[in-house]
Chains A and B, each alone.
Chain A
C-alpha cells in the first residue's frame, strides 16, 4: 500500500529527472572507462570492435532525434507517403553492405576523404571530399542539438537554450575524451535505452487498440472492440470522412515518391558518419555482418513506427474530432500551452473541427506530438512518459556524437595531418582531433541555440548532398578501375553544386521573390528527391570526363584490385 502510493506519488517530472539522470550517469561512466589514448582509438576505436557492438552503435548513430521523435508523426500525417522514409532510410543499408562497407573496411583507413584522396591520388579530391563531409555533417548536427533542446524544454521545463548547453556538455565530455572508442560504447548503451523507450509505449498501445502485443501485426489486425473491423479500414474511413486522402493511399506523385526514396537510400549509404563506423571492425566479414545486425536493429524501430503512426492518428482523431473543447483531456491543454497544439473555434460552436479543408479546420497539431504525447494520449503510466524523454535524448545525443567525430577527424586528420602539416606527431594529431571536436561542438551548439531559419529545411537535404557527392565517387572507385581523378572530382563538384542550386531555388527560395511553386519542379521532383537526379549527373559527368583523360596510375589500379579481395586486411593504422 505504502509502496504503491510512493510509486503513484512520483510525478512525470520526477520520473523524467530520475531516468534522464541515470542514463546520463551511465554515458559518462562509459566515457571515463573508454578514454582514447591514440589516434587510432580516437578515429576508429582501435579497429577491434565486435560486429554486434558495431551493429548496435551503428543503429544508434543512425537513428537520430528525427527517427525517434518525428518519423512516426510524419508518417501519421502522410499515411502511405511516409513509406519514403521507411524504405529510404533502411534500403540504404543493403547498398552499404553489398557495395561499400566490405571494400572500405579492406581499404582500412580512418575517414571517407581518406579513401577519396588515396583512390583518386589527389589532394584536390581529398579537399573536395572534406568540404562535402563538413557540409553534410554540419547541416545534420544542428538539427540534433535542436532536438536535444526541445526534449529538455518539454519534459524538464528548462529553457531550450539551457537544454542545448547541457546536451553540448555531455557530448563534449564523451566525444572529446573517448573519441570513436567512447562514442562506440556509449552508442551501444544509447541503442538499448532508445529501443526500450520506443517499444514499451508501442506495445502498450497496440494491446489497448488491437489486443495484439506485437505492433507490427496489430496495426494490420482487427480492433480489440470485437466489431470485426480492421484498424486500417477504420482509419481510411475516418480520414476520407474528414476530407483527407485515404490513409493507405497517400497523395504524392509516383515519380516523386520514387525519387525521394532513391535519394534517401543512396544518401544513407553515402553519409560519412555511417560509413566510418565500418572502419572500426576487425575483418571484412565483420563489416558485412555488422551491417546486417545494424539494419536488423534499425528495422526493429522502423517497422514499429508505422504502427505507432496508425495508433496515434486513430487515437487522436477519436479523442478530439467533433468533441466539445471544454471536455478535452489534460494532455491537450498541456500541449496547447507549448504552442504545439492550437485550436481556434472558427464557427463558434464549441466543438473541435479537425478537417482537411484549411478554411474550416480549427485544429493544428505539430507532428512531433504523435510520439511525445502518445503515452499520455493512451493514458499510460508516468514512468513510460518519462522513458520517452530519455529515449529521445539518447537518439539525439548518439547521432550528434557520431557526426561530431566525422567533423573533427575531417579537420584534424584530413586537413591538418594530410594537407597542412604532414609531419605532425601522433600526440599532436590527437590534440588537434580533440580541439576540433571541441570546436565542432561549439559550432553545433551555436546553431542549436540560434537556429538559422533554414536549418530544419536543410536537414532532410543532407541526404541529397551525400547522394550527389560521395556515393558515385566511392562506387566508381571500387567497381570501375579505370575511373580517374579528373572524372571523380568533376563528378563530385557538379553533383554537389547541382544539388545546392536546386535546394536554394526550390526549397529556400533565395533566387526569387517568392518560393517557386511545385508546378515548376523539374519532372515534378521535389528538392528532397532531387538528390537522385544530382547523383545521376555525378555518374554521367564522371564517366564522360574520364573518357577524355588519362587512366589512373598502375599502383592505384593495384589498390583497387586489392580492396576487392577480403584477406590480408591492412591494420587501420597502416600509415
Chain B
C-alpha cells in the first residue's frame, strides 16, 4: 500500500516536471528568444505600427507569461484529480 502511494507520487512528479519544462521553454522562447536574441531579425517584420521584436519585448512576452500560468493552473488541476491529490 505504502509502496503504491510512493509510486503514485513519483509518477505525478514526473508528469509535473514535464509540464514545467515545456512551459518554461515557451517562457524562454518568447522573452529571451523573440524579445532579445532574435529581436533584430524579427524587427524586419511589422504588425501594424509595431516592429515584431520590439512588440515581443514590450508587450507580447508579458501576455504569453499570463497565459502560461493559467495553462499550468489548468494542467495541474487536472493532474491533481488524476492522481487523487485534489482532496
Residues of A within 8 A of B (CB): 75, 80, 82-83, 86-87, 90-91, 93-94, 97-99, 102, 216-217, 219-222, 230-233, 248-249, 254, 257-258, 261-262, 285, 288-289, 291-292, 295-296, 299, 302-303, 306, 561, 564-568
State how many angstroms separate the Cβ of A51 from the closest Cβ of chain B: 10
A306 touches B31 (CB 8 A): no
B86 touches A567 (CB 8 A): yes
State how many angstroms separate the Cβ of B47 from the closest Cβ of chain A: 7
The complex places the Cα of A566 from the Cα of B16 at a distance, in Å, of 11
* Interface positions of B from 25 to 61, Cβ below 8 Å from A: 27, 31-32, 35-37, 39, 43, 47-51, 54-55, 57-59, 61
- With A261-B32, A566-B85 as given contacts, are A288 and B76 in contact (CB-CB < 8 Å)? yes
The residues of B that contact A94 with a CB separation of less than 8 Å are 23-24, 27, 65, 68-69
Interface centre among A222, A288, A306, A561, by most B CB within 10 Å?
A: A288
The complex places the Cα of A262 from the Cα of B32 at a distance, in Å, of 9
The complex places the Cα of A221 from the Cα of B66 at a distance, in Å, of 24
The complex places the Cα of A296 from the Cα of B47 at a distance, in Å, of 23
Residues of B within 8 A of A (CB): 9, 12-13, 16, 20, 23-24, 27, 31-32, 35-37, 39, 43, 47-51, 54-55, 57-59, 61-63, 65-66, 68-70, 72-73, 76-77, 80, 84-87
- With A248-B54, A254-B37, A258-B36 as given contacts, are A87 and B87 in contact (CB-CB < 8 Å)? no
Residue of B nearest to A564 (CB): B13
Partner of B9, one of A82, A99, A219, A561: A561
- Number of residue pairs A-B, CB distance < 8 angstroms: 128
B85 touches A296 (CB 8 A): no
- With A83-B57, A94-B23, A258-B32 as given contacts, are A565 and B72 in contact (CB-CB < 8 Å)? no
The complex places the Cα of A523 from the Cα of B49 at a distance, in Å, of 35
Partner of B73, one of A233, A289, A303: A289
Residue of B nearest to A81 (CB): B57
- With A98-B23, A232-B49, A565-B9 as given contacts, are A87 and B37 in contact (CB-CB < 8 Å)? no
The residues of A that contact B85 with a CB separation of less than 8 Å are 565-567
The complex places the Cα of A102 from the Cα of B54 at a distance, in Å, of 33
The residues of B that contact A75 with a CB separation of less than 8 Å are 58
B66 touches A87 (CB 8 A): no
Given A86-B58, A292-B70, 10 more A-B residue pairs with CB atoms under 8 Å apart are A91-B27, A94-B27, A220-B48, A220-B50, A231-B49, A232-B51, A258-B36, A288-B76, A303-B63, A306-B59
Interface centre among B20, B63, B70, B77, by most A CB within 10 Å?
A: B70
Residue of A nearest to B55 (CB): A220
10 interchain residue pairs of minimum CB distance: A230-B49, A83-B57, A292-B69, A220-B50, A567-B85, A306-B58, A220-B49, A248-B54, A97-B69, A220-B48
- With A97-B69, A98-B24, A564-B9 as given contacts, are A220 and B86 in contact (CB-CB < 8 Å)? no
- With A248-B43, A248-B54, A566-B85 as given contacts, are A90 and B62 in contact (CB-CB < 8 Å)? yes
The complex places the Cα of A102 from the Cα of B75 at a distance, in Å, of 14
The residues of A that contact B37 with a CB separation of less than 8 Å are 254, 258
Residue of B nearest to A85 (CB): B58
State how many angstroms separate the Cβ of A380 from the closest Cβ of chain B: 24
Residue of B nearest to A257 (CB): B36
Residue of B nearest to A296 (CB): B66
The residues of A that contact B58 with a CB separation of less than 8 Å are 75, 80, 82-83, 86, 306
The residues of A that contact B32 with a CB separation of less than 8 Å are 258, 261-262
State how many angstroms separate the Cβ of A444 from the closest Cβ of chain B: 30
- With A220-B49, A254-B36, A261-B31 as given contacts, are A295 and B69 in contact (CB-CB < 8 Å)? yes
A87 touches B55 (CB 8 A): no
The residues of A that contact B24 with a CB separation of less than 8 Å are 94, 98
- With A83-B57, A87-B57, A561-B9 as given contacts, are A285 and B80 in contact (CB-CB < 8 Å)? yes
What are some 5 contacts across the A-B interface (CB < 8 A)?
Answer: A87-B61, A91-B65, A102-B76, A230-B49, A231-B49
- With A303-B59, A565-B12, A567-B85 as given contacts, are A295 and B65 in contact (CB-CB < 8 Å)? yes
- With A292-B70, A567-B87 as given contacts, are A285 and B27 in contact (CB-CB < 8 Å)? no
The residues of B that contact A86 with a CB separation of less than 8 Å are 57-58, 61-62
